Amino acid sequence: MRGSPLLGFLLFYPLFLQWGILSYGSVAAQQGTWYDYTAYTECKRSPEAALYRGGVIKEGADTVRETTVGSSSPAFVLLNLTATTIYSFSCWVKINRGADSALLKARLSTGDGVLNCIGSSVVKRHCWSFLKGGFVLDTASQTSLVFFQNADGKPIDISLVSASLQPFSAEEWEMHRNNSISRKRKRAVAIHVSDAEGNPVSGASVSVEQIAKDFPFGSAIAKTILGNSKYQDWFVERFNAAVFENELKWYATEPEPGRLNYTVADAMLRFVHAHHILVRGHNIFWEDPRYTPAWVRNLSSADELRSAVSSRITGLLSRYKGDFVHWDVSNEMLHFDFYERRLGNTNASLEFFAAARAADPLATLFMNDFNVVETCDDVNSTVDDYVARLRELMRGGAANLEGIGLEGHFSKPNLPLIRAVLDKLSTLHLPIWLTEVDISKTFDRQTQAKYLEGVLREGFSHPGVNGIMLWSALHPNVSCYQMCLTDDDLENLPAGDVVDRLLNEWETKWAGGETNDHGIFSFVGFLGEYMVSATYGNRTSETTLSLSQGDETSHLNIQLQY
Ligand SMILES: *[C@@H]1O[C@H](CO)[C@@H](O)[C@H](O)[C@H]1NC(C)=O
Ligand SMILES: *[C@@H]1O[C@H](CO)[C@@H](O)[C@H](O)[C@H]1NC(C)=O
Ligand SMILES: *[C@@H]1O[C@H](CO)[C@@H](O)[C@H](O)[C@H]1NC(C)=O
Ligand SMILES: *[C@@H]1O[C@H](CO)[C@@H](O)[C@H](O)[C@H]1NC(C)=O
Ligand SMILES: *[C@@H]1O[C@H](CO)[C@@H](O)[C@H](O)[C@H]1NC(C)=O
Ligand SMILES: *[C@@H]1O[C@H](CO)[C@@H](O)[C@H](O)[C@H]1NC(C)=O
Ligand SMILES: *[C@@H]1O[C@H](CO)[C@@H](O)[C@H](O)[C@H]1NC(C)=O
Ligand SMILES: *[C@@H]1O[C@H](CO)[C@@H](O)[C@H](O)[C@H]1NC(C)=O
């Protein structure tokens, strides 16, 4: 949601002499190493081996090093880091003394006084935790330092092992994304054309056209879309998924106690359903008191609040049962706890999930929060905290289908950190969605567009991500929350050009050709729905093909008819 506070730390180089340097890494280009998606979110008895055998931290990746970590403590000197190289960083950490648990951050200093967070982990005593992140530099740096910092500033003794820093060129990074897209978002198809007797027909001409996409990619919409046919046409041409920016929120549907008004939400739902656009339900409760209706904040007793909460959840979900594919149940619960506090029940959210599950069994129930994938600087929403809360909900047994919502309100995105966070979340094998992607309006439009492209490419190519939503609802004359795709006349801004370019890149517009000697025409296409037609002489046949995910070639038989 909001930008993270920028922590500027002064760097005192002489300090690292006192602290003692744990290791040196020299940076030489290595060819042919593939990105390693491996991640761990369980605290383990013994650490795993270093990824990439340590990468450029060659020296003794297997030796355990001990150090004291307070507000900051240098651990690695990295020499000759280059600009635009994508560095993936990881290590295993255990606390020896000073605390049972601590939030440990890895920070990088390139000597310009800024210590960027490059990864974080909730580390524990008696067992090893995995920290994974990374960074990209704007300018080359001859000498850089990786620091470890206990988020609360207190000194703790830690052990560190299996550290790894792996550089990837921009081309390698792109190649790996392409490879992942080929495996997860596309599939090979063999179309077998035969005659009425079942004999293969060679030389038949086959034409294939994608008519729907499998991957949900969409944007928030606001009530401003109602009655605005230009905006509606623009939206429908591009997107297969939507979310209402504010119109389902409690303050919108029940501005005063008992005065329920679903007029706007109903009209928006009619629009999306008329165009077969799937829609997320956002949100049932928002844990931030600022966005809780004033009359709810005013309720004086827990009993009154309990009754209001119960009416909200059953009223909303029985009205819209089956209409919304997801529900964000307790929005931003890593940062806020209005309901837990005011109900005096630490399990309140767990109960909300259970009630939602009972009221709308087909919807996937989501947690949704900010600053999980955007940064590792927010102490309230580290990836490990998110994993812990999800495990807690699952242990509670209330909901068996939770999804992981990552808002994705970015300032300058750190691509290898985004990927590392997604890697860790993927260990839970739950659906992951980027739910509110935008880039801060503090950047000019060209920069917003460039950063947006990086985030969208990272999201679409990550094997754990199931859908992407932009937070770009258009309010003519008012603008958008942070980032607009178009101006008020629906003419693209740079961010809109990026979206259109990617939409175009991520579909199989048309494929065609003649069947071979075995009567086969083959192609590789993006997952989704296709119209397939085959013609030979005056015989022809047309059918649909639903291409869903699979490791193997999909085979389709078409028999020609007169
Ligand atoms: C780093 O770069 C400097 C200057 O180009 C060079 O002298 C030095 O050998 C390099 N160090 C390593 C470890 O590559
Ligand atoms: C990745 O795929 C895109 C789209 O197909 C293509 O234009 C680009 O050249 C590919 N890049 C690499 C490095 O393979
Ligand atoms: C419900 O909301 C609509 C749209 O804002 C408004 O026109 C209508 O008057 C409201 N109905 C009631 C009963 O308040
Ligand atoms: C909330 O309570 C305050 C103080 O009693 C009152 O002034 C205000 O009108 C109330 N607001 C709502 C929306 O009920
Ligand atoms: C985040 O954590 C800090 C420190 O624990 C706390 O003071 C703050 O209120 C939390 N909430 C938000 C929204 O950042
Ligand atoms: C919260 O839920 C958990 C799991 O169902 C249960 O073990 C625990 O006792 C509950 N706590 C409270 C305060 O109800
Ligand atoms: C936007 O502002 C212009 C000029 O001030 C006005 O003519 C137009 O109706 C407004 N559009 C909307 C959608 O409010
Ligand atoms: C289709 O073409 C074949 C051979 O060219 C011809 O014998 C046949 O009568 C045609 N059938 C129809 C229904 O036009």
Measured CA to CA, the distance from residue 73 to residue 98 in angstroms comes to 15
176 C-alpha vs ligand 8 centroid, how far in Å?
A: 51
Please answer whether residues 381 and 332 qualify as being in contact, where contact means their C-beta atoms are separated by less than 8 angstroms. no
Q: What is the DSSP code string of 409-471?
A: EESS--HHHHHHHHHHHHTT---EEEEEEEE-TTS-HHHHHHHHHHHHHHHHH-TTEEEEEE-
Specify the ligand 2 atom closest to the Cα of 174: 13
User: In this structure, which residue's CA is closest to atom 11 in ligand 2?
Assistant: 175
Residue 77 phi, psi (nearest 5) = -100, 130
DSSP E strand stretches across 151-227: 156-168, 186-194, 205-213, 217-221
Give the per-residue pLDDT at 17. Answer: 32
538 C-alpha vs ligand 8 centroid, how far in Å?
A: 6
Measured CA to CA, the distance from residue 455 to residue 480 in angstroms comes to 19
Residue labelled with tokens 């000697």: 517
Measured CA to CA, the distance from residue 370 to residue 379 in angstroms comes to 12
Nearest to 434 by CA among 462, 452, 459, 464: 459
Q: Which ligand minimizes its atom distance to the CA of 258? A: 3
Amino acid at 185: R
Strand order in the sheet with 528-536: 510-514, 205-213, 528-536, 539-547
Residue 376: which residues within 8 A CB-CB, separation 6 or more?
105, 117, 118, 119, 120, 133, 382, 383, 417, 421
Ligand 3 pocket, residue 261 CB under 6 Å: yes
Measured CA to CA, the distance from residue 137 to residue 141 in angstroms comes to 8
466 C-alpha vs ligand 3 centroid, how far in Å?
A: 36
User: In this structure, which residue's CA is closest to atom 7 in ligand 8?
Assistant: 538
381 C-alpha vs ligand 5 centroid, how far in Å?
A: 10
Measured CA to CA, the distance from residue 537 to residue 49 in angstroms comes to 62
Probe residue for ligand 5, chosen from 2, 120, 154, 335 as the CB with the greatest number of ligand atoms within 8 Å:
335
SS3 state of residue 242: strand
Residue 103 phi, psi (nearest 5) = -90, 115
Q: Which two tokens stand for residue 468?
A: 């992407």
pLDDT single digits (tens) 296-326 = 999 999 999 999 999 999 999 999 999 999 9
Measured CA to CA, the distance from residue 259 to residue 72 in angstroms comes to 54
Nearest to 192 by CA among 184, 181, 200: 200
- 184-210+508-559: CATH superfamily: Immunoglobulins (2.60.40.10)
54 C-alpha vs ligand 5 centroid, how far in Å?
A: 35
Ligand 2 pocket, residue 178 CB under 6 Å: yes
Q: What CATH topology corresponds to 220-486?
A: TIM Barrel (3.20.20)
Give the per-residue pLDDT at 1. Answer: 34
pLDDT single digits (tens) 83-113 = 999 999 999 999 999 999 999 999 999 877 6
pLDDT single digits (tens) 484-540 = 999 999 999 999 999 999 999 999 989 999 999 999 999 999 999 999 999 999 999
Residue 303: which residues within 8 A CB-CB, separation 6 or more?
none
Domains 184-210+508-559 and 220-486 share a fold: no
Residue 479 DSSP label: B
Nearest to 455 by CA among 480, 441, 438: 438
Give the per-residue pLDDT at 51. Answer: 96
Ligand 4 pocket, residue 294 CB under 6 Å: yes
Give the per-residue pLDDT at 309. Answer: 97
In this prediction the pTM is 0.92
Measured CA to CA, the distance from residue 448 to residue 484 in angstroms comes to 10
Q: At what angle do helices 415-426 and 445-461 cross, to 10 degrees?
A: 30
Cβ-based burial of 270 (10 A; exposed 0-12, middle 13-18, buried ≥19):
exposed
Q: What CATH topology corresponds to 5-168?
A: Jelly Rolls (2.60.120)
SS3 state of residue 494: helix
Probe residue for ligand 7, chosen from 477, 478, 479 as the CB with the greatest number of ligand atoms within 8 Å:
477
- Which CA distances in Å does 261 have to 246, 254, 296, 306, 480? 13, 6, 16, 21, 24
Specify the ligand 8 atom closest to the Cα of 539: 1
Radius of gyration of the chain measured on its C-alpha atoms: 26
Probe residue for ligand 1, chosen from 79, 85, 143, 165 as the CB with the greatest number of ligand atoms within 8 Å:
79
Residues in the chain predicted with pLDDT less than 70, given as ranges, are 1-31, 59-61, 71-74, 113, 397-401
Measured CA to CA, the distance from residue 128 to residue 130 in angstroms comes to 7
Catalytically active residues, by annotation: 332, 436
Domain residue ranges in the chain? 5-168, 184-210+508-559, 220-486
Ligand 8 pocket, residue 537 CB under 6 Å: yes
DSSP E strand stretches across 195-245: 205-213, 217-221, 241-244
